[in-house]
Structure 1
Amino acid sequence: MRWKFPKLPWPAIRLFIGVIAVVVAGVTYNTWWPPLSNWVDSTLMSHRSAPTEEEGHGDDADHAEPAPVARESLNLTAQAIKNLGLTSDYLRPIELSTYRRSITVPSVIVAKPGRSQVVVASPLNGVVTHVHAVTGQAVMPGELLMEVRLTYEELVDKQTEYLKTLSELEVENREIVRLEEATRSGAVSGKALLERRYAKEKLDAFLRAQREALRMHGLSDRQIEQIGNNARLLQELKVVVPDIDRHDHDVEEDRELRLSQVPVRPVAFAMPASQNAAPPATVPSGSHEHRPLVVEDLRVHKGQAVVAGDKLCSLSDYSELFIEGKAFENDIAAINEAVKRGWPIDAVFNNATGTEVVGGLKLAFVANAIDPSSRTLSVFVELPNEIIRDETTAQGQRYLDWKYRLGQRLELQIPVEQWENEIVVPVDAVVKDGADWFVFQQNGNRFDRIAVHVKHRDQNSAVIANDGSVYPGDVIALKSAHQMQMAVKNKSGGGADPHAGHNH
């Protein structure tokens, strides 16, 4: 029996032929696409560069514009593209963006007044018995720094007088109870009982005055009650890390001197097993939770006598810093405009690994006076810091390394003008050759050198005119334009100028 092919409708046949054509074109892509691409590029260039008859033979032929520079191409191997650093981050389509023209201001990182440093002073006279912290160590609020045995005579006398008054008041209360029973029986007149009650009222008033005196010396109500209940003087001062973020003076624990025997976690050296204190948790920088402080300028040692007001050490908080920029006097109007519009500010750090740009910083305030010696205006910008190393030694000492440090020099870029919908590329994406500026547009492994008009250029960016030389969506090399320009010159046989595209 003869098998017959089914008859297919004409639309199905056309679809089948189209699929076959697409498959064949994909398989033979490397054979037909390069010649076709070169023919299209050469045709477009001939139409761009060929003058019209009116342009070449008109009456104003002598004043005709010169023909544009011929496009040159550079074929690169995959290895050469990698050597130039043209990764996917530097081979991206052009996009229209907003460009802010900026002025560059030399700057330095400074402390934040009132926040970056806390001075720990001795509230009373005494002798240092233990020093738990070491210089450079990171500590947390509430941790024990050092212990001081009190030798402050006035505080000792006030506590002694308070205990004595309590004892006298207790005796007076017992005597009043005895006289009340005797008066009821008629053995004693009521006059003696009345005198004792007057004496008790005097002791109560004297006791209230003594309580206020102890409060003036820094003791809390809880500590004063402890003296009366235990009948013992408080003689040891525990200096702990203050909390610079809390200002609630109504909380008794924040007001009292650490004179009691309440356990406090030490900050250094191996801790006794009985304390079982958990290690401090790491708190991210910029958080409003407790942030680590660094012990600096530790001035005391074990056995040293201190008096009230002596500086024991200082604690530094590096989580939030200021950048102080020195702007010139004639930049005041531009800076005021930036403040008015709320434009973000960029900080540029130059280091051994290259240039780091920290963007989106907020201008805190501008000084109201000009430095009479340098004739500069101070501009202060907020700089959030971050911890790059956090380690704890076997002795329990914690050390931190912050990314930004006091005294570090940098540059601030303060915007003074804003341009909308511009082609903005890194400055390394353009190269200058004589009067022309060029970029390199990617077409596979081939990079075409295209002349462009650079409207503005600074240390980091270049603004290219959107005049049809390149279009949004075109992929260009965003770096290494100078090296590619030298390769083009070497290819054409001309000597390469090592300073081409660089202004000194």
Structure 2
Amino acid sequence: MSSKSLRGARIRAVILTLVSVIAALLIGVALLTDLPTRWGWRTDASPAVADHSEVADDDHAGHDHGGHSETESIELSPQARANLRLQTDTVKVGSFTRYVEVPGVVTQWPGQTHVSVTSPLTGVINAINVSRGELIKSGTPLFRLRLTHQDLVKTQETFLAKLGEMDVERREIERLSDVARSGAVAGKTLINRQYERDKLDAGLRAERQSLLLHGLTEEQIDRIEKTRTLIREVIVYAPILHDDQSLHHESLHDEAWKDSPSRETQLTAFQPPESPHPQHLDTSFLVTELEVRRGESVSAGQQLAQLSDYSRLLIEGHAFQRDGDLLRQAAATGAALQAIFEGSGEARETVQDLKVVYIGNEVGRESRSLPFYVGLDNEVERSEVRGDKRYVSWRYKPGQRLTVRLPETQLDNAIVVPKAAVAEEGPERFLFVQNGDHFDQVPVHVLSRDSVNVAIANDGQVWPGQTIAISGAHQLQMALKNQSGGAIDPHAGHNH
């Protein structure tokens, strides 16, 4: 073989070798590029290089948070959100009112909440028609009382005797009037009998007043006069509450009880005696105390039961000296106060738009606090009917502890969020904005805060309409730090 042919063969071998090496390198690069996907190190849904050309189709388009950084964003599965009991809400701009908090307690309204039912006469309790805890209406029969008071019996006897004498005197006057027309009897005799009638009439009026003072009513006295029988039993009814908050009590003869076909009819269809004040309130009372037993002897004026109207109560707050000016200002301007009732776990109930009724005039010697009183409208939270009786439980109860919030300052154009929506780390404060299935950490400027809400500056870090986490911010912050591999601060998110 010539030297020229040998040189050409060598050149072709070198070229083939170079082509083989280049092909092997290309195949190796391709295999290495696809290897993480083949072996599950990376999925096609998470490419090594992000393609930002399809921003319009990105779930996070419009959120300028630079993608999902492990240090600024955390992904939560539906199960994780359920475990955190995570709550979300949209961002809103409004006014923020900062409140000063003082302790308080629910208390009765003196002179209005409780009503005492007393025995109008001395006697023996024959029947008790209500039970403790029962809700009753005004005019409901409460007790049946058998009279034993000797003075009352004697007064009734005297009244009956004078009624008989009056009947005799009237008949005699009628007889003498007929005889006097014929001239058989002098007119002086007729006049004397008329004087005697007038004296008996005056005595009857006095006896009527005496019976009224003993506790009988006009209707009962009229019944005695009509039937000429003594009253042996009376029924004590629940008082009627008038529009001026005054009470009217009535007791009726036992025939009113016997006329009803059944006790159920008596309780549901009973019409109480006509009140001298036509305007009265349809009030319900709760039987909170029963002081007597059947067969017990009671005296006039003795308390038989206590009825309570819990529909309107008071909150007794205790303001300290530093809060005195704020309290007086709230009372003078009619500012709306709040009351926070603690529930089970982290549950809290806030009652809005409360007004100061009056401020106390003495500072507590031990507590050094000034009491003030706020009106509280109540409502029935539970009702149970057993037979013909109804038992209820009121929502707010005297003795219940709470926190009263006095308005102090107000900020306009602020983003108001719950306290649990803000996480803390050193001087930084963060909100977590929902971004698809991620929550992005966004630094914010806190303007003011109290124990319930926080005012965030409306400076464009978050904007109205965005969805944020309004609970669990501390847990999200801890999970985010753990995800990024940073040391977990056990106090992060807590306001000390």
Q: 1:165 to 1:279 in 2, by over 3 A?
A: closer
The residue identity in structure 2 corresponding to 1:80 is: A
Partner SS, residue 480 of structure 2: helix
Summarize the alignment of residues 2-21 of structure 1 with structure 2, pairs less than 5 Å apart.
none
2-structure distance, mates of 1:248, 1:497: 61
1:217 corresponds to which letter in structure 2? H
> Is 1:142–1:264's contact at 8 Å kept on the other side of the alignment?
no
**TM-score, with length taken from structure 2:** 0.80
Shift of residue 497 of structure 1?
2.2
SS in 2 for 1:360: strand
User: What secondary structure is seen at the aligned counterpart in 1 of 2:461?
Assistant: coil
Partner in structure 2 of residue 99 of structure 1: 96
> Taking structure 1 as reference, are residues 317 and 455 closer, same or farther at Cα in structure 2, changes over 3 Å only?
same
Summarize the alignment of residues 172-191 of structure 1 with structure 2, pairs less than 5 Å apart. Answer: 172-191=169-188
* Equivalent position amino acid for 2:143 in 1: M
Q: Against the structure 1 CA distance between its residues 404 and 103, is the aligned structure 2 distance closer, same or farther, given a 3 Å change threshold? A: same
CA gap of 1:466–1:248, structure 2 versus 1, over 3 A, is closer
Aligned match of 1:159 = 156
What's 1:366 paired with?
Answer: 359
Runs of 5+ consecutive residues of structure 1 not aligned to the other structure: 1-29, 47-68, 281-287
Match of 2:338 in 1: 346
Q: Please give the secondary structure, in 2, of the residue aligned with 1:262.
A: helix
Q: Deviations over 1:52-96 (max 9, x none)?
A: xxxxxxxxxxxxxxxxx9971222333333443345xx231x222
Distance in 2 between residues matched to 1:179 and 1:73, nearest whole Å: 116
Distance in 1 between residues matched to 2:316 and 2:395, nearest whole Å: 17
Give 1:258's match in structure 2, choosing from 252, 260, 272.
Answer: 252
Q: How many residues align?
A: 434
Amino acid across the alignment from 2:78: A
Query: Which residue of the partner structure matches residue 32 of structure 2?
Result: none
User: Which residue pairs with 2:13 in the alignment?
Assistant: none
* Counterpart Cα distance in 1 of 2:97 and 2:81: 31
AA paired with 2:195?
A: Y
Aligned identity (percent) is 39
Contact map agreement 1:218 1:255 (CA 8 A) in 2 = no
Does structure 2 conserve the Cα–Cα contact (< 8 Å) formed by 1:223 and 1:260? no
Q: Which residue of 2 aligns with 1:22?
A: none
- Separation (CA, whole Å) in 1 of partners of 2:121 and 2:103: 45
Shift of 1:401: 1.2
The alpha-carbon distance between structure 1 residues 265 and 119, as it changes in their structure 2 partners (threshold 3 A), is farther
C-alpha displacement of 1:399: 1.3
Residues 353-378 of structure 1, C-alpha deviation per residue, up to 9 Å, x if partnerless? Answer: 42221222222221122223321111
1:79 corresponding residue in structure 2: 79
Distance between the aligned counterparts of 2:212 and 2:62, measured in 1?
A: 92
Q: What's the counterpart of residue 139 of structure 2?
A: 142
1:289–1:197 Cα change, 3 Å: closer
Distance change in 2, residues 1:248/1:155 (3 Å)? farther
* Residue of structure 1 in register with 2:38 after alignment: none
Deviation at 1:245, TM superposition (A): 4.3
Match of 1:306 in 2: 298
> How much has 1:139 moved relative to structure 2?
1.9
Aligned counterpart, 1:169: 166
Q: Aligned residue for 1:474?
A: 466
Letter paired with 2:190: L
Counterpart residue type for residue 469 of structure 1 = Q
Q: 1:108 aligns with which of 98, 105, 110?
A: 105
Secondary structure at 2:412 match in 1: strand
State the match for 1:228 in structure 2: 225
Q: Which one has a bigger Cα radius of gyration?
A: 2
Q: What does residue 451 of structure 1 align with? A: 443
- AA aligned opposite 1:389: R
Aligned to 1:429: 421
Q: Which amino acid aligns with 1:309?
A: G
| Equivalence for 1:386 | 379
When residues 426 and 391 of structure 1 are mapped into structure 2, their CA distance, relative to the original with a 3 A threshold, is same
Larger deviation, residues 298-307 vs 337-346:
337-346
1:272 aligns to 2:262 (yes or no) = yes
Rate the CA distance shift 1:244–1:278 in 2: closer, same or farther, 3 A: closer
Q: Does structure 1 conserve the Cα–Cα contact (< 8 Å) formed by 2:240 and 2:281?
A: no
Q: Compared with structure 1, are the counterparts of its residues 34 and 78 closer, same or farther at alpha carbon in structure 2 (3 Å cutoff)?
A: farther
- One-letter amino acid of the structure 1 residue matched with residue 268 of structure 2: A
Q: Partner of 2:474: helix, strand, or coil?
A: helix
Could you tell which deviates more after superposition, 71-80 or 128-137? Answer: 71-80
Aligned to 2:276: none
CA separation of 1:265 and 1:72: change in aligned 2, threshold 3 A: farther
